[in-house]
């Protein structure tokens, strides 16, 4: 029986996911790579975060989105699973907005991190 949990996300862009993890200071390995779990079980993931206890966290493509894949019994991160996913998702959204707005010719005019942890972005585009 598998000990792996698969948690759905709304993450679909690998570049923004990697940028978010980097912003958080999380070291990751680009896959496909094995996520190590209970009693030597493995799953394949596109992004793998190694933990000191030899149980990994991964983000695996399910055909629609990247799921977080891990044996949650051996979670060894400073944040809870929920807190980790919340921070990854916020960083992912931030990088996705920056990338997509840049593609459309927008530039960041103003950026502010609020007390509640939210980020306020103002983008602008000059037209002739």
For residue 125, name the pLDDT band (cuts at 50, 70, 90): confident
Q: What confidence score (pLDDT) does residue 127 get?
A: 77
For the entire predicted model, the pTM comes to: 0.86
Q: What confidence score (pLDDT) does residue 7 get?
A: 94
Which residues neighbour 104 within 8 Å (Cβ) at sequence distance 6 or greater?
125
DSSP-assigned letters across all residues of 36-99: E-GGG-EEEEEEEE--TTS--EEEEE-SSSEEEEE-GGG--SSS-HHHHHHHHHHHHHHHHHHH
Rounded to an integer, what distance in angstroms lies between the CA atom of residue 17 and that of residue 27?
12
Say if residue 128's pLDDT is above 80: no
Q: What confidence score (pLDDT) does residue 2 get?
A: 66
Q: What confidence score (pLDDT) does residue 86 get?
A: 94
Q: Which residue has the tokens 């990697």?
A: 18
Per-residue model confidence as pLDDT tens digits over 1-54: 568 999 999 999 999 999 999 999 999 999 899 999 988 899 999 999 999 999
Q: Within a 13 Å sphere around the CA of 66, how many CA atoms are in the beta-carbon half?
A: 24
Name the residue range of residue 76's domain: 5-124
Number of domains the chain contains: 1
Per-residue model confidence as pLDDT tens digits over 81-112: 999 999 999 999 999 999 999 999 999 889 89
Q: Which of 7, 69, 3, 58 is nearest to 32 (CA)?
A: 58
């Amino acid at each position: 029986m598998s000990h792996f949990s698969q948690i759905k996300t709304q993450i679909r862009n690998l570049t923004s996911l990697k940028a978010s993890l980097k912003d958080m200071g999380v070291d990751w390995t680009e896959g496909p790579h094995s996520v190590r779990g209970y009693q030597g079980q493995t799953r394949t993931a596109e992004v793998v975060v190694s933990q000191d206890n030899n149980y990994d966290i991964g983000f695996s493509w399910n055909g629609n989105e990247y799921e977080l894949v891990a044996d949650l019994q051996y979670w060894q991160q400073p944040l809870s699973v929920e807190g980790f996913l919340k921070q990854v998702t916020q960083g992912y959204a931030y990088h996705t907005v920056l990338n997509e707005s840049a593609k459309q010719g927008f530039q960041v005019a103003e950026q502010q991190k609020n007390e509640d942890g939210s980020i306020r972005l103002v983008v602008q585009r000059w037209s002739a």
